[in-house]
Amino acid sequence: MTITTRPRTIGELRDSGYKVLPIKEEMRKNLIQKIRDGEELFPGIIGYEDTVIPQIENAILSGQDIIFLGERGQAKTRIARSLVNLLDEYIPIIAGSEINDDPFEPISKSGRDKIEEFGDRTEIEWIPRERRYGEKLATPDITISDLVGEVDPVRVAEGRYLSDELTIHYGMIPRTNRGIFCINELPDLAERIQVGLLNIMEERDVQIRGYKIRLPLDVYVVASANPEDYTNRGRIITPLKDRVGSEIRTHYPHTIDHEITIMEAESSHFLSDGLDVAVPQFMKEVIAEITHLARRSNDISQRSGVSVRVTVSNYENVLSNASRRALRLKERQVVPRVSDLEAIMASTCGKIELDAVGDIKEERVVQKLINGAILSVFGEYFEQREFEQLVAGFERGLNVQVGDDMPSMEYVNQLSKVGGLSKAIDKLHGRGNPALIASTIEFILEGLHLNRRLNKDEVGGKTRYRR
């Protein structure tokens, strides 16, 4: 049905044989079709294929409302917004309806009055699926009028009675009638607001200023919450908890590969005229491993979690630091080095919560994470016995200097006097350009230092490795 051939009145809609489906039935129908067609249900959602997504499918097929339980940065809101794709592309409503009235069975007085006056000549309009999604972040200061509605004093001044339904200015939930309404951080709602939400979900009535109005809304409710807040006694009323059909637990990426995929997809991409950016796989793994270690660290509060946004921001900062160096040294190739990891201090410290607060402690914890990540990734690529020749060279007095602001060619020049590095560089696919060689050399030397095979001196922004 194209835009030009769509019915424009209720009579034309009835003659076309169009059937209005309840929201849950509509979503179920479209989900079934997508599964049959082999369509990807949640594009861009990584790592939930065998855990979260099957539970969402079950809930929709069962016609159940959903609450997502998970720490911050677990794509809860993104998934809720993606549910819009399970709605029909367009649906008809009575023209001008504030609450998306069904043309055949309007629930608002204004909609019923229109049909009584115009009958089958009542005009309809077609609204896109995007207009059928509403979202609200729960805060303690939210009122019933925000979610449900309030008496409009202007309409009262026009001569209507307070008890007249036409005096109501509808809130967000009625305006999302025949759509999806998402409320984030549900436990932050005051109890009396939770009761109002329960009335809409279960009893299908609305009370405004003491006047009870029967409003059989057709809304698919999605909520999100931090697990500790949701299960904490007193934060959410029991009847509302009981009303939610499916409680789905989200999680952080289980694997480094998933973390890297999300990191690359979500990071900001800017056009860098004159710069060629390349990130070695081992550097991507180090950045992702930092976040994974943070999620297991006893120094960091796990109550609020360590978001994937930490990984994304760290990746962006490391690339920016490498780009800044290339610009100043007038190099074309941009390749992050281990020395660029200092740049993640700013992007990590603001996104983690320590059990013991303090700036010095915070920096020490982040440095510990960096060291642990390098050590872990280094161990995945190498065994220490592979560097006996290299360590022997350092024992004979060899030393190598590196630094955040050192030109890449200086690393290449030092490579000629360091025996035992060539095979390791080849193993990391570190050949190609001077910037890539520089990054590989720093990673190998720092890995050996953290394995206590080399000593390290830091003076004036430069680092010297020796035995």
Q: Domain holding 90: CATH number?
A: 3.40.50.300
Question: Does the structure show a pLDDT above 60 at 21?
Answer: yes
**Beta strand spans in 8-109 (E):** 66-69, 90-94
Question: Which of 202, 225, 249 is the last residue in one of the domains?
Answer: 249
108-117 pLDDT, tens digit each: 888 999 999 9
In this structure, the answer to whether residues 208 and 236 fall within a common structural domain is: yes
Q: Which helix (H) or strand (E) holds 117?
A: helix 109-118
CB-based burial label for 334 (10 Å; 0-12, 13-18, 19+): buried
Q: Has residue 4 been placed in a domain?
A: no
200-255 pLDDT, tens digit each: 777 666 666 556 667 788 999 999 988 877 766 557 777 777 888 899 999 999 99
When pLDDT is averaged across residues 47-70 and rounded to a whole number, the result is 95
* 163-to-145, 147, 167, 214 alpha-carbon distances in Å: 16, 19, 8, 13
> What is the pairing mode between strands 219-225 and 66-69?
parallel
Question: Which of 186, 216, 249 is the last residue in one of the domains?
Answer: 249
Q: Has residue 5 been placed in a domain?
A: no
**215-224: buried (b, 16+ CB within 10 Å) or exposed (e) per residue?**
bebbbbbbbb
In this structure, the answer to whether residues 198 and 280 fall within a common structural domain is: no
* Structural domain that includes position 105: 10-249
Q: Has residue 2 been placed in a domain?
A: no
Query: Phi and psi (nearest 5°) for 279?
Result: -115, 115
Closest by CA position to 78, among listed 35, 36, 47, 33: 47
Question: Does the structure show a pLDDT above 70 at 158?
Answer: no
In this structure, the answer to whether residues 269 and 226 fall within a common structural domain is: no
In this structure, the answer to whether residues 278 and 361 fall within a common structural domain is: yes
Q: What is the total count of domains within the chain?
A: 2
pLDDT of residue 162: 53
In this structure, the answer to whether residues 272 and 215 fall within a common structural domain is: no
User: Rounded to two decimals, what is the model's pTM?
Assistant: 0.86
Rg for the chain (alpha carbons), in Å?
30
In this structure, the answer to whether residues 284 and 242 fall within a common structural domain is: no
Question: Which of 219, 249, 279 is the last residue in one of the domains?
Answer: 249
In this structure, the answer to whether residues 106 and 236 fall within a common structural domain is: yes
Which tokens go with 295?
């999620």
In this structure, the answer to whether residues 182 and 272 fall within a common structural domain is: no
Q: Has residue 3 been placed in a domain?
A: no
In this structure, the answer to whether residues 235 and 292 fall within a common structural domain is: no
Q: Has residue 435 been placed in a domain?
A: yes
Q: Has residue 432 been placed in a domain?
A: yes
Which tokens go with 214?
């029967």
Q: How many residues make up the chain in this entry? A: 467
Say which amino acid occupies 48: Y
In this structure, the answer to whether residues 240 and 267 fall within a common structural domain is: no
Q: Has residue 52 been placed in a domain?
A: yes
Say which amino acid occupies 144: I
In this structure, the answer to whether residues 240 and 350 fall within a common structural domain is: no
In this structure, the answer to whether residues 337 and 444 fall within a common structural domain is: yes
Cβ neighbours of residue 444 closer than 8 Å, sequence gap 6 or more: 378, 382, 387, 421, 424, 425, 428
Q: Has residue 354 been placed in a domain?
A: yes
